[in-house]
Chain A
């Protein structure tokens, strides 16, 4: 039971941050990979809403394959938090975890960082350290 990696996209599909913990298959072309990831999530979100039996916005919480689960959380501002874990992540609501990452880590260390230019890549060490600390303390790590 572990967490594989973390992506953070903005509304234009730019990957603002990426971190990996236990990933055996390395990414060859990161830009293509990000485009693929963003495009897939965009369409997935569309599908989920359009095919929903209920008339309400229905973004996916996660999708699961035999080898990994991809958890998704997005904000009205278009920020997308993605976490890839192993399929046995238990009962924890990882989308809730992502929401916590948004509130505790992103808001504090990016939005309120005076030296951060809104819209640019996140290279601040404080952010990556805090994210690492929070993810390693998760029950599903």
Chain B
């Protein structure tokens, strides 16, 4: 691109602090918001659970999906405002998705999406073969967390970013073969490539 960047100079943040913060966000929602909580004592893993405990753990999972996804959504919206300032206007959904796969992913996750598939009916499948935020995850008993829990936040980011660029969509993530993960973007609009502004 021949245009000069007008965004201010980049400042850097230590990646460890971001990684640890992201881990804690998920743990906070899964294990509850009590001080000095002990995961071994939470009711989510109990065999004999009463109604309150079951409701509690379901609520937590729901809270995880909704709240953390929501957090990612807000972050994604602001992030895309900042990152796409110098980019040309994107006309079609495909251009938006390609921008997300290349420039946005490069800025946010330090690499580009490896495989992009579409069924041409509004569904895009983004495959990242080594997703940065879960590449250190490895099953360690006892743990009630799963790798998927840590993908709700990035899925929210992608969702917020795309919505801000004018594409109404939902995003889900799958980590069946971590560290490879797959983000599925379902576009809510009728399957025609041009967007209304």
Residues on A lying within 8 angstroms of B by beta carbon are 108-117, 120-127
Contact = CB atoms under 8 A, between A and B. Distances in A.
B145 A114 contact: yes
Contacts of A110: 140
B176 interface: no
Interface of B: 16, 19-20, 22-23, 26, 39, 134, 136-143, 145-147, 150
Contacts of A116: 138, 140, 143
Contacts, number: 55
B136 A120 contact: no
User: 10 closest pairs, A vs B, by CB?
Assistant: A126-B138, A124-B138, A124-B140, A114-B23, A116-B140, A112-B136, A115-B143, A114-B137, A123-B141, A114-B150
A127 B23 contact: no
Contacts of B146: 115
A117 B136 contact: no
Nearest to B16: A112
Contact of A125 (B20, B136, B138): B138
Contacts of B134: 114
Contacts of A124: 138-140
Contacts of B20: 111-112
